[in-house]
Amino acid sequence: TFPQSPRWKKEDVTYRILNYTPDMLQADVEEAIAKAFQLWSSVTPLTFTRLYNGQADIMISFAAGFHGDFYSFDGPGGTLAHAYPPSTGIGGDAHFDEDENWTKFTTYNGFNLFLVAAHELGHSLGLGHSNVFNALMYPIYMARDTRDFRLSQDDIDGIQALYGPPRESSGLPTKSSPPQEPTEMTPAEAPTEMSPREEPTETTPTKTPIRPQDCDPHLSFDAITTLRGETLFFKGSYVWRKSPYFSDIEHDTISSFWPSLTAGFDAAYEVDKKDRVLFFKDDQYWAVSGYSIESGFPKPIQNLGFPTSVRKIDAAVHDQNTKKTYFFVGNKYWSFNENTQSMERGYPRKIASDFQGIGHTVDAALQKNGLFYFFHGSNQYEVDIKNRKLIRTMKSNSWFNC
Amino acid sequence: FPVVTEKEKEDKQFAKKYLEKFYDFKEEKNSLFKSKNLNHMDDKIREMQSFFGLEVTGELDRKTLDMMKKPRCGIPDIRSYS
């Protein structure tokens, strides 16, 4: 909570939407905000009534840059919104940065208004930030599925410390709400909440495999790709990040970069000219640009021209010189023309016939400084495809200064 | 000492603004002792790192910078919000 834990000293709180973002339909803005209030009313005795004029407790508005308070917005990205703790005047008000691209979808091409509004309204009710990673009140924006979005236990504990749990009622809505804009969910609809006194049932944490040592001689990888000059090595949910500027290897997880991508990539490659990395898993693929995942994904790999008999890809690498991307499946490979976005004729071909010394499946592939690196288990094969020469064989983790 | 590259200067400036905005870092403008400022900033970096569960080094390492650059809410993370 904020210093001195300010809270509304009443249970029926009012709000007013002062203006709208042109990014969304007005009805969608209203629905996102109503849904955000419902999250909090479902776990507290609070009710939220919308006013259409005059002064409401929580005034909601969109604005860009300097907008009349001491906390100007900063253009696209960075700060998305802010809100004031309960008090008179500006207290409780929530401001959203109009320089952002607001959306009602769970997309990566903009910020979901429901998620950000639910967070900011937590501030409007008196909650500070949480350092619990999946909590709604965690300060960093995370795109996630909003269909049956639930508050985390930390959020519930926080808000109920201020207002207590929802009031038990005899099943009838305690307040008649105008039909077009329900201000309160009737208890029957309220999600059953674990009351604070019930001990959370102990869920046995699923056993995630521990990260292998960097210099484990048996280390193998699921996929490898370059990304803006760096090289990322993937295995399960783990990422090893190698930068040309720092000698040490950074250890991350896939979810810390792309929270909604499931771990265990089959293949990955970068088309650096488009600042785009593609990830493959089973018969689907995703395209990302930095942190943001392009909208409209995942897509089926058949969109790239694979026959339906191909259920997954072993490895992929993009040749920055020829603009061709090579996809490896079993002992064969395809060549995909990134300019025409189509598979080349005469494929698939045998890997061994065109890539010297690579007579087996390929786990991962990489192009660096014009040379190709094909990974199979804990070994790696450096190949000069122009001169059709296998240069050397190394350990897969030779990149980690072992 | 290695020459502080332009990028590092930019990163430091960005971090300073971030810490001022979200961790109540106040640069003592007329402080005689430059090092006093630096230690103060290191403490604030540690505070931020511990909030986000990063390795607490007090240094502006890449993971710390990455976290600072992620889209976020404009409200400070620590309670001395005035």
10 Å CB burial of residue A394 (0-12, 13-18, 19+) is middle
Q: What is the pLDDT of residues A225-273, one digit of tens each?
A: 999 888 999 999 999 999 876 678 889 889 888 888 889 999 999 998 8
> Cβ separation of A139 and B81 shorter than 8 Å?
no
The Cβ-side half-sphere exposure at B52, using a 13 Å CA radius, reads: 23
Neighboring chain A residues of B76 at a CB cutoff of 8 Å: 129
- Gap between the Cα atoms of A170 and A381, Å rounded: 71
Residue A48 sits at the vertex; the CA angle it makes with A42 and A52, to the nearest 5 degrees, is 150
Q: What is the pLDDT of residues A290-344, one digit of tens each?
A: 878 888 889 999 999 999 999 999 999 999 889 999 999 999 999 999 999 999 9
Helix (H) or strand (E) holding B72: strand B72-73
ipTM of the complex: 0.84
- Cα distance between the two ends of chain B: 39
> Cβ separation of B73 and A133 shorter than 8 Å?
no
Neighboring chain A residues of B49 at a CB cutoff of 8 Å: none
Q: What percent of chain B has pLDDT over 70?
A: 77
Q: Are A156 and A43 in contact (CB under 8 A)?
A: yes
Question: How many beta-carbon contacts under 8 Å exist across A and B?
Answer: 64
Please report which confidence band the pLDDT of residue B35 belongs to, taking 50, 70 and 90 as the band edges: low
DSSP A397: G
Q: Are A60 and A26 in contact (CB under 8 A)?
A: no
10 Å CB burial of residue A136 (0-12, 13-18, 19+) is buried
Report whether pLDDT(B37) > 60: no
How far is A382 from chain B, CA to nearest CA, in Å? 30
Tens of pLDDT, residue by residue, chain A (402 residues)? 988 899 999 999 999 999 999 999 999 999 999 999 999 999 999 999 999 999 999 999 999 999 998 889 999 999 999 999 999 889 999 999 999 999 998 876 799 999 999 999 999 999 999 999 889 999 999 988 888 789 999 999 999 999 999 986 433 222 223 333 322 222 232 222 222 233 333 434 445 678 999 999 999 999 999 998 889 999 999 999 998 766 788 898 898 888 888 899 999 999 988 889 999 999 999 999 887 888 888 999 999 999 999 999 999 999 988 999 999 999 999 999 999 999 999 999 999 888 878 878 999 999 998 899 999 999 999 998 888 789 999 999 999 988
Q: Is A31 an active-site residue?
A: no
Q: What is the mean pLDDT of residues B34-60?
A: 84
Candidates A120, A184, A270, A382; catalytic one: A120
